[in-house]
Every structure is written in C-alpha cells, then in structure tokens.
Amino acid sequence: MISGYADILAKVDPTQFGNQATTQETVSRILSITLGSLASHPGLAGHSDAFGPVMASVMLNTAAGLVKDGLQEQDLVEFIDAAVAAAAENVALLNVGDHFNSVATIWADAISGQGVAALSSPATRLKILRSGILEMARNPVLWKHLNNSGDAEKLVNEIVEALSAGDATVLLSGPVLADSIEAVLKVIVRRADPADLLPDGALKQALLEAVETLKDGSALSIGTDDVAGYLANFIREILEDPNRLSDPVLLAGVVKQALEDQLKMAV
C-alpha cells in the first residue's frame, strides 16, 4: 500500500498547484484528508489497500486546478468525504479501479476550460465535479463501458461545452450551471441506449439549441430555479425521438413543450 501512495506522489506535477513552494503543503493536505476519510469508512475494509491509492490519485488529479484557483479547504473536505462515502460498500465502483480515476479526470479537464471558469467559482466547479463522480458511483458498470469505448469523454465534453457556451447575460451561470449539468447528465445516463444512437455532436447541438432559447423573449418567464428542469425536459423529449433534431419545426415544438412543462411544475 505504501508503495502505491509513493508512486502517486512521484507523479504529482508541481505546476498544478501554482508553484513549487505550495505543492508539498497542498499535496500533503489533500492526501491527509483523503486518508482520514478512507479510514473513517469501514465499508472499504478489504478494499482499502487497492482502492486507497486510486482514490488518493483521483483527489490529487481533480482538485489541483480548483485549489490553485482558491478553493476553500472545507469545500475540499466535504467533496473528498462524499466521494469516499460513495465508494464505501460499493463493490462495483471499487472493482472498476483506474476507470474511476480516468472518468474523474475527464470531468476535471472539462471544468477547467475558460468557458466554465468565466461562469462559475471554484466551489461551483467542485459541485459539477462532485455530480460527475457521484453519478459514476451510481452506475460504475455503465461508466466503465463508456470509458472503454471513448464515449465518456465525448459525453462529458458535449454537455459541459454546450451549457457553458453562453455569456454573462444568460441564466446559465454559477449554481444554475452546476444544477443544469447535473440534471441533464442524470437524464442521459438513465437513457443510455437512445443517447448512444445520437450521432457525434448531436447532443451538444441539441443543448445549444435549448440554451439559445433562454436568450430570446419566449423564455422570459423562466427563472433561475426553472433552468435545470427545462433543460432536463428538453433532452428527455429529444431522446424519445432524436429525429426531431433535424426538423426545425419539430425542434421548436420540443422547446415550447419543455418550457411549458417546467412552468406548470413551478406554479
């Protein structure tokens, strides 16, 4: 086990944390929090030797950019504990090993882009990362399959890029962005088969169409607490009949229905 952690530390890139001077302190703190959380979850008994280094690597790889941007330690502690708790007694997740690290890194890379950073704080980006990791914990077998096929990276990037493509006048920023990514992700992974039939780029284009509607007059009645529900409704309808993406009239109908359904729920 000790050699496993030593290997991880040897691979840490000091530039991830800003500069050499802060690297040792930051890495030690993240590792300390992770090990403490692992020790406090007895559900990991029998798996900690193998999974502990994986979890430590995930935390170091995914938290680096956020720590560099000023993430508060309490937010980091809560995130690490939530990830470890999701793994406890989750044998399927424990068994996917490096796939967990790979998918978590995909999420970390996706939220590190300028588009997301311009619309959210480190704490909000951590919330997005947490949603991605917990969704993998919910269905590790599916995410292992998506990662093996290369679809995990495409799926995550299409969602994040589309929903962070707005500007400062769009409702999709801050916690609303995080909630919307989580809502859309849940719909898609629960309908993985129809989503798999979408051609490359189709999901991103569909979400861009939905986001564009938030900029025009037809969506003026949508508030920040409605956005995630509207987008979930929209993508749910699209996955029921993907052919509507290629017909502007049908697509406009889907947008209208998704808006109406959300507003009915809000009243």
Which residue, of 149, 180, 196, is where some domain finishes?
Answer: 149
Decide if 108 contacts 132 (C-beta within 8 A): no
Decide if 196 contacts 240 (C-beta within 8 A): no
Query: Cβ atoms within 10 A of the Cβ of 118, count?
Result: 12
Mean pLDDT in residue range 204-223? 75
- Do 123 and 157 sit in the same domain of this protein? no
For the stretch 88-132, pLDDT in tens is 878 888 888 789 989 999 999 999 888 898 889 999 999 999 999
pLDDT of residue 177: 92
Domain that holds residue 179: 151-267
Least confident of 39-48, 118-127, 182-191, 197-206: 39-48
- pLDDT of 1 strictly over 90: no
Which residue, of 115, 149, 183, is where some domain finishes?
Answer: 149
Residue 107: enclosing H or E segment and its boundaries? helix 98-110
pLDDT of residue 107: 95
- Do 168 and 144 sit in the same domain of this protein? no
- Do 182 and 87 sit in the same domain of this protein? no
Number of domains into which the chain is organized: 2
Amino acid identity of 25?
E
- Do 110 and 242 sit in the same domain of this protein? no
Residue 17 to residue 65: CA distance in whole angstroms = 7
Residue 131 to residue 142: CA distance in whole angstroms = 16
Residue 27: enclosing H or E segment and its boundaries? helix 20-39
- Do 123 and 164 sit in the same domain of this protein? no
Mean pLDDT in residue range 149-164? 92
Residue 89 to residue 85: CA distance in whole angstroms = 9
Separation in Å, CA 245 to CA 130, 139, 248: 30, 28, 7
Q: Mind giving me the DSSP string for 245-257?
A: GG-HHHHHHHHHH
- Do 1 and 120 sit in the same domain of this protein? yes
pLDDT band at residue 61 using 50, 70 and 90 as cut-offs: confident
Nearest 10 degrees: CA dihedral of 77, 19, 68, 162?
Answer: -130
Which residue has better confidence, 1 or 163? 163
- Do 176 and 50 sit in the same domain of this protein? no
